[in-house]
Each structure stands twice: as structure tokens, then as C-alpha cells.
Amino acid sequence: MRFAKNIVVAHRGAWKKNNLPENSIASLQEAVRIGCTGSEFDVHLTADDTLIVNHDDKYAGMKIEENTYAALAQTKLFNGETIPTARTYLLAGMQQHTTKLVFEIKASVISKERGQKLAQKCVELVKTLKAEPWVMYISFDYDIVKKVLELQPGANVAYLNGDKSPAQLKANNVPGLDYHYSVFRKNPDWIAEAKQNKVELNVWTVNSAEDMKWFIDQKFDYITTNEPELLFELLKK
């Protein structure tokens, strides 16, 4: 694999500039086309245990965890795509070798137990497709993070919630953190602590040039953004 050697992660794909649906195959393909090192996407579990790609816990006004995939898929994305399953999304992402697939496992709204089931099904899917070289996992649910590491030791996983120090993550063998940019403004010492503990640094969702420059100067491993084109422009300067 020769993944792009830059720090640009497209948040829900590269959708904004060309008005593509977030989390669509089209936005993933655009992130690949412009050369992002990563493209983030969000995965939920339907009532009939299908893994689907969508940000919110509702789609077309329907709660994902309480509806079947067939019911949800009746409503198309605005570009005509059917809402992707995680399987379809991963298979599309595996057609290329430059952009990592940043797989967010969403916390279950129903229960912690269902979140654990979701984590298990996600890792099983990645293993079945042999997609491990492409996939980085992220989650706001710390128990999901730990479950992924239990099921796939050595997996590239980052925690999103921003309430644990890099040293705490290191102690639990969590290799990465991916926190909102405000967390690092409040805890600037965590940047040096992460580097000292060799915990990978990612930040979300950084959309202004001013903020991008700050995180570039801090030498973050990744910057997740809705404006990947702007970040590329700044990196060229």
C-alpha cells in the first residue's frame, strides 16, 4: 500500500465543494481523487443487523436502529445513490491504494450491549473483506474502542470523546486520539504528552485557515476537515 503522505482527512468524504452527499460513495471517490490520506465515514446498525453508512442516528426521519435496511434504502441520497452499506462502502474504498478509510463506529442509542455488537460486526466485516490495511477505526464510545482492540489486536484505533489524556490512552494500549480542536486549545500540554507517549494525533473538524495553520504548526499526524481543498492549499505554501 502506498497511502498518500499528507495529513488531510476528509470528514465524511470530500463533499462540500462539489455539493455531494456526505458519507456517499461519490464523496469518498472525490476524497481519493484529490489525494487525501484519509476519508472518514460513520457506521450504524439497523434493526435487521445491517451495517450502514450515515452520520446521524436517523435517516430520512427514521431511526436507523429501529428500521430495516430495506425500509431505509427506499429513500435515495440526493445524488441518486442508495444509502451505502458498510460492505459496499469498504469494497468501493478498496479499489484504490492511496486513501485510508477512517471507520467511525457510532455509539448505539439503544444500549451499550448493542454498541458492542456493532463493534463486533464491524471488525468481522473488515476481516472478512481483508480490508485491514485500509482501515483506521475511531469511536466516541470508549468501550467500543476497547472492543475493537480486543477483537483485532494491533488495530489502528483512535478515541474521539476528548475526556482522556494521552497517558491514559497509552496505559490502555489505545494507539491514537482524535479530539475536537477545542480540546487541544484547553489542554495544549496534551499535544506534547501525546508525542512523548507515541499516541497518534488527529483533530476534528478543522475548517478555518487560521485553525488549520495552528494544527499544522503543532505537527499533528492528521487534520480532519470539511474543507480538504483549503487544507491542501495551505500545505503547499
Set out the domains of the chain in order of their start, with CATH numbers.
8-42+96-236 (3.20.20.190)
Predicted TM-score of the model (pTM): 0.98
Is the distance from CB of 175 to CB of 187 less than 8 angstroms?
no
State the pLDDT confidence band at 227, using cuts at 50, 70 and 90: very high
Span 10-43, pLDDT tens digits: 999 999 999 999 999 999 999 999 999 999 999 9
Longest CA pairwise span in the chain (Å):
50
Span 189-223, pLDDT tens digits: 999 999 999 999 999 999 999 999 999 999 999 99
State residue 92 phi and psi, 5-degree precision. Answer: -65, -45
pLDDT at 124: 98
Segment 55-73 shows an average pLDDT of 98
Is the distance from CB of 103 to CB of 87 less than 8 angstroms?
no
pLDDT at 34: 98
State the pLDDT confidence band at 1, using cuts at 50, 70 and 90: confident
Please give the mean pLDDT across all residues of the chain: 98
pLDDT at 237: 87
Cα–Cα distance measured from residue 52 to residue 54, given in angstroms and rounded to the nearest whole number: 6
Span 155-176, pLDDT tens digits: 999 999 999 999 999 999 999 9
Cα–Cα distance measured from residue 68 to residue 212, given in angstroms and rounded to the nearest whole number: 40
Span 102-134, pLDDT tens digits: 999 999 999 999 999 999 999 999 999 999 999
